[in-house]
Structure 1
Amino acid sequence: MTEQEFIPNTYTYTLENGSFKWSSPSNIALVKYWGKKEDQIPENPSISFTLNDCKTITTLSFVKREVSDSFSFDVFLEGQRKDDFKPKIETFFKRIENYLPFLKAYHFTIETSNTFPHSSGIASSASGMSALALCLMSIENVLSDEIITDGFFIKKASFLARLGSGSACRSLEGALIVWGENKTIEESSDLFGVKFPFQVHPDFRNYQDTILLVDKGEKQVSSTVGHSLMHNHPFAQERFKQAHTNLSKLTEILQEGNLDEFVALVESEALTLHAMMMTSMPYFILMKPNTVEIINKIWSFRQETGSKVCFTLDAGANVHVLYPEKETDKVLKFIKNELVAYCQNGHYICDKIGNGAKQL
């Protein structure tokens, strides 16, 4: 599909007011996307597990007004007005106005809450922007006289969400979502996320993700700034090639059920992501000492027990501990006995792989 196919015809119906409510989960990338071109196009493909419990719940209320040259909206997080969120949403609205031409005809009230700490490396922008995109698509679904199929609804919502936060396009469906063109995935696109099209080995179903909250504060460097540093990065082109190769490898691993190769590839991807940050100019380190302690503990535990537990990281200090469902009791005991001490205030979140967003 092309961008043009997401531009609607003139709306036939009108809505004076109303509201829609969606929950949308976060996701955790296995092959990482780092670096983007104009219009939120990724420099390399990525694939992610969709989470189940770490999600954003957004209610979008709207009231018709005289069409203006400006957007009109208020934003609330956990019941508190968040004017500092407005510039990002203003930018988002400017990017998507061509695809949702009703945006300046309404005043919007955006009320959102997370089931996890905001700005702590659990991709709150992914779940937040995807939930908002779904609410906006619900409005268009009523305004349009064209029949919007469920498939097109999700595809356009993913397309819109990408323009707010790149990884948001991977949060609408589950359990595995691919974003970015790759020869291994025939339907893959730079414009939106698509479901992993192949049969997944039983060992990778119901996968568990326990998130160790090493640092619940604001990140030192935003993802937007981090992505921009890839433009002149000396290792960028090799990294983009590596991501394509790793996605092809992971496609086979997920079908064959090779847990050892999964562990090696996923952990390598996580460390490569942070290596790119540490070798950019300016350089930065988002891992904390306790992040490294946890990684070493996981390596020791795996060597001693033969467990298939592994870690991955987003662009932050928190550690996602990934493991097959059949190892849940053993791994959670290990986490409680040895890893909780490295979490801020002992906090961690037990999550698992989910099936995507839901209208509430």
Structure 2
Amino acid sequence: MTEQDFIPKSYTKEVGSGKVTWQSPSNIALVKYWGKRENQIPANPSISFTLDTCRTTTSLDFQKKEKGTDFDFELFFENEKKESFKPKIIKFFERVEEYLPFLKEYKFTIQTSNSFPHSSGIASSASGMSALALCLMNLEKQLNPGMSEEYFNRKASFLARLGSGSACRSIKGNLVAWGEHKNIAESSDLYGVEFQHPVHENFRNYQDTILLVDKGEKQVSSTLGHDLMNGHPYAERRFQQAHENLDLLKGIFEKGDLSAFTKVVESEALTLHAMMMTSQPYFLLMKPNTLEIINKVFDFRERTGLHLCFTLDAGANVHLLYPETEKEETLEFIKANLLQYCQNEQYITDRVGKGAKKLA
């Protein structure tokens, strides 16, 4: 599909008012996207586990107006009006208006909440923007009831990407690829696609325990970090590496090779932070306790032969990934040995999920 495919030619129904609610999860990238081109196009492909319990619930009330010349909405976060969130929503609406031409015809009330604390250091843009995109798509489906499920999901992912790049990977599950890659079926820079290739049962119900090392605001935003890949001395090699690692993971998922999975995923996490440390200006988002946790994970794996591994987003928190069959012993180790490195010993237990869902 191309961008033009997402511009509606006409609508077959009129809708005066209504309400819709969607719940959408966060996701954790295994091959990282870092660096983007204009209009939220990724500089390299990525793949992620869709999560389950880390999610955003968003309700959209809509009322047709007599005449619409401006975007008209109120936004409430966990039942409190949030004026500070409005500029990001306005920017999102401006980006997607071409694809949702009804936006100025309605007054919206957006109610949103997270299953995880807003100040936890867990990025909510992926779950939040995907949930909002799904609500808007639900309204468009009422205006055009003949819309297919495939088109609905792809356009929702396309719109979510224009709000937050990684949000396009939160529409479906369990594994979602985003960015053109010659060996990933139907892959696209415009939206995320479910990974359709064979996946070994070793990766079924994979676990993710998130250690909240630092809940403070990052010193460098992800948007600025992405921009610093323009002209980065190692950028082109990094983008090539992402393609190579996706090929490796494709084989790993088919064979169920957990040790090879660890090597690729941890290398990707460290490469992401290496790009930050070698940009101009350079910056460092890991904290001393991040490194303490990583070294403890190395020791645990060597001592037990189990398959606990780590990955990182653009921050200090650590995602600990491990198979469900090793959950009991691994979780026991995490609680006994790693929580001391978390802020107020806070952590979140999650697992691979199935994507977003509409609520009654």
**Which TM-score applies when normalising by structure 2?**
0.98
Alignment-derived partner of residue 299 in structure 2: 300
Give the Cα separation in 2 of the matches to 1:194 and 1:108. 29
Correspondence for 1:52: 52
Matched, 1:202 2:175: no
Within 2, Cα distance between the matches of 1:322 and 1:261?
13
Q: Which runs of 4+ in 1 moved over 3 A?
A: none
What amino acid is the match of 2:3? E
Alignment of 1:315 onto 2:314: yes
Task: Note if 1:287 corresponds to 2:286.
Answer: yes
Counterpart of 1:159?
A: 158
Post-superposition CA distance 1:269-288 (Å, at most 9, x none): 00000111111111111111
Correspondence for 2:126 = 126
Deviates more, 1:5-14 or 1:294-303: 5-14
Separation (CA, whole Å) in 1 of partners of 2:12 and 2:306: 58
Tell me the distance in 1 between the aligned counterparts of 2:244 and 2:119: 30
1:182 matched to which residue of 2?
Answer: 181
Aligned to 1:334: 333
1:92 aligns with 2:72: no
Structure 1 303/48 Cα, relative in aligned 2: closer, same or farther at 3 Å? same
Q: Is the 8 A contact 2:68 2:106 kept in 1?
A: no
Q: Deviations over 1:191-244 (max 9, x none)?
A: 000011112001011100000111122222211111111112111111000001
**CA distance in structure 1 between the aligned counterparts of 2:41 and 2:120, rounded to whole angstroms:** 24
Deviation, 1:119, is 5.9
SS at 1:49 equivalent: strand
Structure 1 Cα separation of the partners of residues 248 and 308 of structure 2 = 19
- Superposed displacement of residue 66, structure 1: 3.2
CA contact (8 A) 2:127 2:167 kept: yes
Structure 1 spans left out of the alignment, 5+ residues: none
Matched, 1:27 2:31: no
Q: Which residue of 2 aligns with 1:244?
A: 243
AA in 2 matched with 1:356:
G
Q: Secondary structure at the match of 1:312?
A: strand
* Aligned equivalents of 1:59, 1:317: Cα separation in 2: 31
Match of 2:141 in 1: 141
Distance in 1 of aligned mates of 2:296 and 2:121: 21
What residue number does 2:13 align with? 13
- 2:110 maps to 1:110: yes
- Residue 121 of structure 1 deviates from its aligned partner by 4.6
Q: Are 1:117 and 1:216, in contact at CA under 8 Å, matched by a contact in 2? A: no
CA–CA distance in 2 between the matches of 1:34 and 1:221? 14
Cα distance in 2, alignment partners of residues 20 and 216 from structure 1: 32
- Shift in Å, 1:67: 3.2
The residue type equivalent to 2:350 in the other structure is D
Following the alignment from structure 2 to structure 1, what is the Cα–Cα distance between the partners of residues 272 and 294? 15
Check conservation: 1:120, 1:219, Cα contact below 8 A: no
In structure 1, give the amino acid aligned to 2:144: S
1:27-85 CA deviation, whole Å, 9 max, x = no partner?
00000000000010000000000000000000011111133332111111111111111
Who is 1:228 aligned against? 227
Distance 1:118 1:45 in 2: 28
- Secondary structure, aligned partner of 1:99: coil
SS across alignment from 1:327: helix
- SS in structure 2 at match of 1:231: coil
Partner of 2:214: 215
Q: Assess if the C-alpha contact under 8 Å between 2:121 and 2:216 holds in 1.
A: no
What amino acid sits opposite 2:125 in the alignment? S
| Cα 1:119–1:153 shift into 2, 3 Å | farther
In the superposition, the TM-score normalised over structure 1's length comes to: 0.98
Q: CA deviation at 1:180?
A: 0.2
Query: CA separation in 1, counterparts of 2:90 and 2:309?
Result: 39
Aligned to 1:355: 354
**In 1, distance between residues paired with 2:121 and 2:243?**
24
Would you say how many aligned residue pairs link Structure 1 and Structure 2?
359
Supply the RMSD in Å over aligned alpha carbons: 1.0
1:211 is matched by which residue type in structure 2? I
Q: SS of 1:189's equivalent?
A: coil
Q: Distance in 1 between matches of 2:349 and 2:43?
A: 32
Gaps of 5+ in 2: none
CA offset at residue 14 of structure 1?
A: 1.8
Instruction: Among all aligned residue pairs of Structure 1 and Structure 2, give the percentage whose two residues are the same amino acid.
Output: 65
Q: Secondary structure at the match of 2:36?
A: coil
Distance 1:120 1:350 in 2: 13
The aligned amino acid for 1:190 is D
Match of 2:274 in 1: 275
- Please tell me the residue identity of whatever aligns with 1:263: T
Contact 1:68 / 1:105 at 8 angstroms: preserved in 2?
A: yes
Q: Is the 8 A contact 1:120 1:218 kept in 2?
A: no
Quote how far apart the aligned CAs of 1:122 are.
2.8
Amino acid at match of 2:102: F
Q: Distance in 1 between matches of 2:232 and 2:279?
A: 6
Question: How far does residue 247 in structure 1 lie from its aligned partner after superposition?
Answer: 0.5
Deviation per CA, 1:133-169: give whole Å up to 9, x if none: 0000000000125x11111111110000000000000
Q: Does 1:65 align with 2:72?
A: no
